[in-house]
A = this chain, B = another copy of it.
Amino acid sequence: MSLRIETLCTGDELLTGLTSDTNSRFFQTLLLEQCGLTVRRSTVVGDVREDLIEVLDTLAARCDAVLVSGGLGPTTDDITIECAAAAAKVELVEDERVMAHIRARFEKRGIALTENNRRQARIPLGSEAVLNDEGSAPLIIHRRGRCTFFFVPGVPREYRHLVATYVVPKLAALTQRSTVTKLRVLKTMGVPESHLDAKVQPLLAKHPNVTFGYRTHAPENHLKLLVTGADEPAVLATLTAAERDARDVLGAAVFGVDDETLAQVVGARLLERGLSLAVAESCTGGLISAACTDVSGASSWFPGGAATYAASAKTIWANVPAALIDAHGVVSEEVARAMATGVRSALSASCGLSVTGYAGPSGGDAVNPVGTVFIGVATPDRVFVEKHRFGGDRARVRLFAAATALDALRRAL
């Protein structure tokens, strides 16, 4: 039998536009991978006592397990645990082990313990505290009837540590799994979502045991394949067959799977062929370099990238002749080409990649309005320039330009 699991995130800042919940994806992914389960529903409430108590009661009545995050900090607006105790009608008691842990952490870092830090050692009577190696507030495991609540801090590092080390393993043990779930995500560039759907529709009848889904992670569109069954080899075989057919219809648009990033895929392909990449960016101003260096081990294939924002920087770092810039303008096919080949030779790399364009809000002209971006690609085999026009605001143009440039290099390799 499948457990009904929900999540609750608390904090006014999640409802007033100050921040968004970036933790839940981490839990959801582990839960699916390690327990074959998905979260049924997710709720966010503010630091409002009556709302918190009402939601905790509702969740206790309908769930087998609930992951509650946030509101465990030392400050006076951290009221999650008080509300949990109030909802369950039990007292709060100071846990000595937690208090000793907090005291030791502060001593080790030479920071004075403030009175409000004691708040973090108080837990509902009858619940269990698991010490937190990454912070002060413990994981609190609190049972109400058939429902187990796991209270964790909202600080991402602490959340991830406690969820991965304790919460998900405990849920896996509760599950007593009789089914296996496998997910495969095929990531594409350059295919609109409705076209993705149209291409994939014919596969549905052929693969009745596969759930097909889509997500947009601009500028990428992803196809999800989900298979659940009793037998792992059979589930994997079903998934593999569907993936093969999906790859057939999608072709080169598929750049990677699951957690792979475009930069990782480009890096792996360069490494396979013993190549290296130097980058010169104008309007993307470092986004491509940042994406490449986000890949662990990038130093094997990425000697460097220059954010050549000023025209002079294009000349100094990417060997673009000043006369060429004067003749054609910085946003031009000629300059994009010269940046790609110039930065390649500057760092003695085997490939060069360049971007120059108008990200907006100002700039551009009638021929090349805001959104126009030239992408220069230089590989050992050939040199070419692509001209694109991206809609949307400055951030969107930059995002699309950076990803499209990496994808152009991927396809060229």
Q: Which of B15, B215, B288 sits near A42, CB closer than 8 Å? A: B15
Give bound CA distance, A209 to B48, whole Å. 17
Task: Mark out the residues of chain A between 273 and 306 whose CB falls within 8 Å of any chain B CB in the assembled complex.
Answer: 279, 283-294, 296-299, 302-306
Give bound CA distance, A317 to B306, whole Å. 8
Is A218 interfacial (CB-CB < 8 Å)? Answer: yes
Q: Which residue of B lies closest to A74 (CB)?
A: B194
**B309-A73 in contact (CB<8A):** no
**B43-A42 in contact (CB<8A):** yes
Q: Which of A109-117, A169-177, A237-245, A248-256 contacts B (4 or more CB under 8 A)?
A: A109-117
Return chain B residues, CB-CB under 8 Å to A291. 286
**A17-B26 in contact (CB<8A):** yes
Number of chain A residues close to chain B: CB under 8 A: 106
Is A146 interfacial (CB-CB < 8 Å)? Answer: no
**B299-A310 in contact (CB<8A):** yes
Return chain B residues, CB-CB under 8 Å to A394. 294, 296
**B43-A43 in contact (CB<8A):** yes
Knowing A17-B28, A18-B185, A197-B74 touch, does A46 contact B38 (C-beta < 8 A)? yes
Is A24 interfacial (CB-CB < 8 Å)? Answer: yes
Return chain B residues, CB-CB under 8 Å to A156. 218
Return chain B residues, CB-CB under 8 Å to A42. 14-15, 43-45
Give bound CA distance, A406 to B188, whole Å. 35
Is A260 interfacial (CB-CB < 8 Å)? Answer: no
Task: Mark out the residues of chain A between 45 and 95 whose CB falls within 8 Å of any chain B CB in the assembled complex.
Answer: 45-48, 51, 55, 73-77
Is A178 interfacial (CB-CB < 8 Å)? Answer: no
Q: Which residue of B lies closest to A37 (CB)?
A: B16
Given contacts A40-B46, A293-B398, A305-B309, 18 further A-B contacts (CB under 8 A): A15-B40, A15-B41, A16-B183, A17-B26, A40-B48, A41-B44, A41-B46, A111-B195, A116-B198, A285-B293, A286-B288, A287-B290, A293-B307, A294-B394, A302-B310, A303-B310, A304-B309, A312-B347
Q: List 5 A-B contacts (CB under 8 A).
A: A16-B32, A17-B32, A286-B287, A289-B307, A302-B310
